[in-house]
């Protein structure tokens, strides 16, 4: 498999193994078992429901960005397929998988769909950074965390402005790209220009205020539901939970899973989730209880999204292996 020959795969695997060791090294098994035994199961069905519902606003946002009515259900199941591939393959294979699945299902050009996936990622990072800014005044965190939030905020702001400028001034931008391609003769000019025009078209929806507003509101709705999942799991173990703790946990994990790792972010997810509770909220959580919470959240996320992906493949009449081969071919191009 090409993935096994990728240096990124092996670096990601090493990071995952190190993170697993760090998460487990100070956690006696009996303490972890005691923390899990304290879980109040009544909160967990609601957490599972919120996990499923959090995909709905993502589907609505994708439909708005593509500016194509009547594809909300297809976008929902394509998201599920994306989660499935991310859970099974390393290096965030779910992103190209869901783009390929939705393009094949709806007939929308792949490059246009892929462009909206990039916009979605930027909106997600912007959302979690706004959430971080909102909760930092209520937390006792090292200055490094505040500086990191500022740096990420600047990067996202620059990316959003850059996207807007490219779309707003698409003709001059296309002229610049054409001139560059004429100098880089080893690239297939017509093919790259076709990708460029489709990509710009995919991002054009953001220049319309109504679409941009929908994208922002659906992003907020999705992340609020995600925070609700974490709050419910935290509440099942810790009765004195505030909204700050699950929000910071969501922010920390959202930024951490961008690091290359093994399938499903195993290791990275457990360690960062644990430390997101222990470091700023050590009075409420120790390594054992924090890891127990992280494991429960992870199982809810992993099992629910994997099931959505399996159902999505069935509804699309798609084969896991066939779609996987298409993703690998695209990655190799």
Residue 331 has pLDDT above 70, yes or no: no
DSSP calls for 219-254: HHHHHHHHHHHHHHHHHHH-SS--SHHHHHHHHHHH
Looking at residue 5, what is its pLDDT? 60
Residue 332's pLDDT band, with cuts at 50, 70 and 90, is low
Closest CA to 55 of 178, 226, 213, 241: 226
- The count of other CB atoms within 10 Å of the CB of residue 102 is 29
Residue 210 has pLDDT above 90, yes or no: no
Residue 139's pLDDT band, with cuts at 50, 70 and 90, is confident
Looking at residue 225, what is its pLDDT? 97
Pick the more confident residue, 45 or 9. Answer: 45
Looking at residue 227, what is its pLDDT? 97
Looking at residue 2, what is its pLDDT? 57
- pLDDT tens column, 289-328: 999 999 999 999 999 999 999 999 999 999 998 998 888 7
Pick the more confident residue, 78 or 206. Answer: 78
Looking at residue 230, what is its pLDDT? 97
Pick the more confident residue, 104 or 264. Answer: 104
Three-state DSSP at 149 gives helix
Tell me the C-alpha distance between 273 and 270, whole Å: 5
Looking at residue 51, what is its pLDDT? 97
How many structural domains is the chain composed of? 1
- pLDDT tens column, 66-115: 988 899 999 999 999 999 999 988 777 899 999 999 999 999 988 889 88
Looking at residue 102, what is its pLDDT? 96
Which range among 86-90, 149-153, 327-331 shows the weakest confidence by mean pLDDT? 149-153
Return mean pLDDT, the chain: 87
Closest CA to 205 of 109, 58, 71, 63: 63
Looking at residue 23, what is its pLDDT? 94
DSSP calls for 41-62: GGGHHHHHHHHHHTHHHHHHHH
Looking at residue 260, what is its pLDDT? 62
Sign of the alpha-carbon dihedral angle for 310, 312, 316, 322? negative
Query: 125 lies in which domain range?
Result: 2-19+28-332
Residue 6's pLDDT band, with cuts at 50, 70 and 90, is low
- pLDDT tens column, 33-76: 999 999 999 999 999 999 999 999 999 999 999 988 899 999 99
Residue 149 has pLDDT above 80, yes or no: no
Pick the more confident residue, 191 or 234. Answer: 234
């Amino acid at each position: 498999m090409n993935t096994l020959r990728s240096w990124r795969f092996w670096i990601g695997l090493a990071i995952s193994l190190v993170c697993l060791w760090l998460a487990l090294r100070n956690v006696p098994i009996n303490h972890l078992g005691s923390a899990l035994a304290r879980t109040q199961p009544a909160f967990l069905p609601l957490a599972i429901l919120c996990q499923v519902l959090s995909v709905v606003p993502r589907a609505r946002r994708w439909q708005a960005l593509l500016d194509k009515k009547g594809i909300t259900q297809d976008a929902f199941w394509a998201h599920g397929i994306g989660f499935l591939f991310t859970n099974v393959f390393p290096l965030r294979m779910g992103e190209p998988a869901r783009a390929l699945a939705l393009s094949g299902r709806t007939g929308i050009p792949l490059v246009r769909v892929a462009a909206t996936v990039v916009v979605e990622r930027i909106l997600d990072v912007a959302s979690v950074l706004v959430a971080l800014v909102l909760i930092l005044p209520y937390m006792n965190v090292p200055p490094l965390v505040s500086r990191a939030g500022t740096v990420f905020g600047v990067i996202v702001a620059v990316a959003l402005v850059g996207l807007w400028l490219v779309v707003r001034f698409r003709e001059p931008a296309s002229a610049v790209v054409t001139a560059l391609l004429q100098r880089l003769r080893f690239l297939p000019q017509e093919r790259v220009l076709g990708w460029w025009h489709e990509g710009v078209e995919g991002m054009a929806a953001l220049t319309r205020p109504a679409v941009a507003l929908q994208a922002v509101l659906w992003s907020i709705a999705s992340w609020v539901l995600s925070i609700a999942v974490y709050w419910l799991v935290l509440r099942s173990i810790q009765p004195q939970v505030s909204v700050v703790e699950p929000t910071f946990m969501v922010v920390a994990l959202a930024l951490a899973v961008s690091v290359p790792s093994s399938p499903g972010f195993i290791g990275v997810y457990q360690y960062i989730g644990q430390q997101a509770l222990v470091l700023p909220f050590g009075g409420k959580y120790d390594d054992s209880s924090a890891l127990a919470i992280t494991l429960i959240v992870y199982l809810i996320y992993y099992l629910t999204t994997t099931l959505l992906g399996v159902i999505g493949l069935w509804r699309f009449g798609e084969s896991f292996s066939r779609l996987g081969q298409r993703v690998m071919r695209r990655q190799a191009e």
